[in-house]
Amino acid sequence: MAIPDSTTINAWTRLLRAHNHALATVEAKLKNSGMPQLAWYDVMLELERSGVSGIRPYELQAKLLLAQYGLSRLLNRMEKAGYLRRDLCIDDGRGQLLFITGKGKTMRKRMWEIYGPAIKEAVGDNLSQLEMIKLSEILGKLIKEKNAN
């Protein structure tokens, strides 16, 4: 079993700290603005992207990488808030399709007004354009993406 060297451990630690710092910045901005948590935005964005065909909960789970039990509770809260609706899946009587509502689209856009500038504060204000391109390329290698856009 290979043990990582100190350079690898340092890169790993900084990656995790940068991730935590960026998320904390975004979450704090959303909370201070009276907005829902970032996970709500991510769900609404994927629902909006799915369009008129909707998305199955298991497909949404795969896109978001959330645990099933956590996603179920989140979807229940979002449905109760009026940001999504569930329809029965015609192909599978037990299955459901999820759709964003008009209220959900409005909230996602309102959240982006806070989220977008928070990304800029957490990342964009700290790196040059060239550094952001390089960082994106490096992170793309870590997640095995061909085009890390």
AA identity, residue 23: L
Which pair of tokens denotes residue 94? Answer: 């037990």
What pLDDT is recorded for position 146? 60
Out of 63-67, 107-111, 135-139, 140-144, which region has the weakest mean confidence (pLDDT)? 63-67
The pLDDT, as a whole number, for residue 145 is 66
What is the domain partition of the chain in residue ranges? 17-142
**What is the rounded CA–CA span in Å between residue 106 and residue 81?**
13
**What are the tens digits of pLDDT across the range 25-41?**
999 999 999 999 999 99
First to last CA, the chain: 34
48: nearest Cα among 128, 110, 106: 106
Query: What does pTM read for this prediction?
Result: 0.85
- Which range is least confidently modeled, 42-51, 90-99, 124-133? 90-99
List the CATH code of the domain at 17-142: 1.10.10.10
Residues 6+ apart with CB under 8 A from 36: 30, 81, 107, 111
DSSP 8-state code for residue 94: E
For the cut 90, the answer to whether the pLDDT of residue 147 exceeds it is: no
Cα–Cα distance, 49 to 2 (Å, whole number):
42
pLDDT of residue 91: 75
Contacts with 13 (C-beta within 8 Å, 6 or more apart), sequence order? none
Instruction: Compute the chain's Rg from CA coordinates.
Output: 18
Give the pLDDT band (50/70/90) at residue 94.
confident
Q: What is the pLDDT of residues 51-78, one digit of tens each?
A: 999 999 989 998 886 777 789 999 999 9
Per DSSP, the chain holds a count of helices (H) and strands (E) of: 6, 2
